[in-house]
């Protein structure tokens, strides 16, 4: 891994409008540069592989780590620069209690040994980098990533209201307006939003966490454009039963086999013509999806952080 992946910009550039500014000592710069991302990657991969062997059911932590990194950043507000990946505030209330973060305490817990192994790496960097490793090791694109996020000591700077996108809002019209509002608040376009939701190619929902059930694809540990293909080609209907009993969970959709699922927010992508256009593009062109996802996901991971994926020199080298 080249040096660009392990150097960090320690002061937010002017181009990062709304991002908070932080002061760093030379000692802090050297501490961050001491983090060997190759070794961190190896530890994360070993954790995922070991856990998958214990599960023995074809599932893994990879999808959960993508969700962890996504939710650690998805609170950003471009208007005032609040929220985002800096701080790792998900460790504290109120973010730890957000309904949309249900079950992520497990993901944070299993990463604790890696934090102890690499004490110079902030929780904020670890949570976001775990998502990078999950995508790349599952066959996805390379994600530009820079170290330099700083942990906060409590959740006092968090919004008491859950800023993360909800999976259902009663109707396609409502959920489409909702997800557009959430992604727009963070500074994303329709195209970037659709690309980011393509991460649903991996992982699954659990009734004991989100209330929903099932995987989006048949290859939930592989990063691909399969999510988009299935959205267009499968016949999706409201889920009414589960394991022979009436379905009592929140509204979701299932394919003809009952083994795959889609959320209302997923189905909104093909109900809205402007969004469906991008679903169709990504279903046909995986290379285009990978390119657009890498750009959008890297942007997401750096929202609210005093670092930029496009500037790799430490701040003290600019003079």
Q: Which residues carry out catalysis?
A: 71, 216
CA-closest candidate to residue 69, choices 104, 96, 45? 104
Pair 201, 226: CB distance under 8 Å: yes
DSSP annotation string for 198-233: GGGGS-EE-TTTTS--EESSS-TTS-SSHHHHHHHH
Report d(CA 94, CA 192) in Å as an integer.
28
> What's the distance, CA 10 to chain centroid?
23
First to last CA, the chain: 26
Per the document, the length of the chain is: 319
Let me know the angle formed at the C-alpha of 225 by 54 and 186, rounded to the nearest 5 degrees.
95
Residue whose token pair is 């285009």: 288
Residue whose token pair is 């991008």: 278
Report d(CA 51, CA 38) in Å as an integer.
20
Helix (H, G, I), strand (E, B) or coil at 214: strand
Report d(CA 101, CA 226) in Å as an integer.
25
């Amino acid at each position: 891994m080249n040096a660009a992946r392990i150097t960090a910009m320690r002061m937010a550039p002017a181009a990062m409008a709304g991002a908070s500014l932080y002061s760093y000592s030379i000692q802090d710069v050297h501490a961050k540069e001491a983090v060997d991302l190759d070794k961190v990657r190896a530890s994360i991969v070993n954790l995922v592989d070991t856990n998958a062997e214990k599960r023995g059911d074809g599932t893994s932590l990879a999808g959960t780590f993508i969700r962890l990194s996504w939710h650690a950043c998805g609170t950003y507000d471009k208007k005032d620069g609040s929220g985002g990946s800096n701080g790792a505030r998900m460790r504290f209330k109120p973010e730890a209690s957000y309904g949309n973060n249900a079950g992520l305490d497990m993901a944070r817990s299993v990463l604790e040994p890696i934090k102890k192994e690499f004490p110079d790496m902030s929780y904020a960097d670890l949570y976001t980098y775990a998502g990078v490793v999950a995508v790349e090791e599952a066959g996805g694109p390379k994600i530009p990533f820079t170290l330099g996020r700083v942990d906060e000591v409590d959740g006092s700077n968090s919004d008491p209201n859950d800023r993360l996108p909800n999976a259902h809002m009663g109707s396609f019209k409502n959920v489409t307006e909702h997800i557009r509002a959430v992604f727009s608040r963070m500074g994303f376009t329709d195209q970037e939003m659709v690309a980011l939701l393509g991460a649903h190619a991996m992982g699954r929902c659990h009734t004991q966490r989100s209330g929903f059930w099932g995987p989006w694809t048949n290859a939930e540990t592989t990063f691909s454009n399969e999510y988009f293909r299935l959205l267009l080609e499968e016949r999706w209907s409201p889920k009414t039963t589960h394991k022979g009993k009436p379905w009592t969970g929140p509204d979701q959709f299932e394919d003809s086999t009952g083994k795959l699922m889609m959320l209302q927010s997923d189905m909104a992508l093909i109900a809205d013509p402007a969004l469906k256009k991008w679903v169709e593009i990504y279903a046909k062109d995986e290379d285009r999806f990978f390119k657009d996802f890498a750009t959008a996901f890297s942007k997401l991971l750096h929202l609210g952080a005093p670092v930029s994926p496009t500037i790799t020199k430490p701040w003290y080298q600019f003079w």
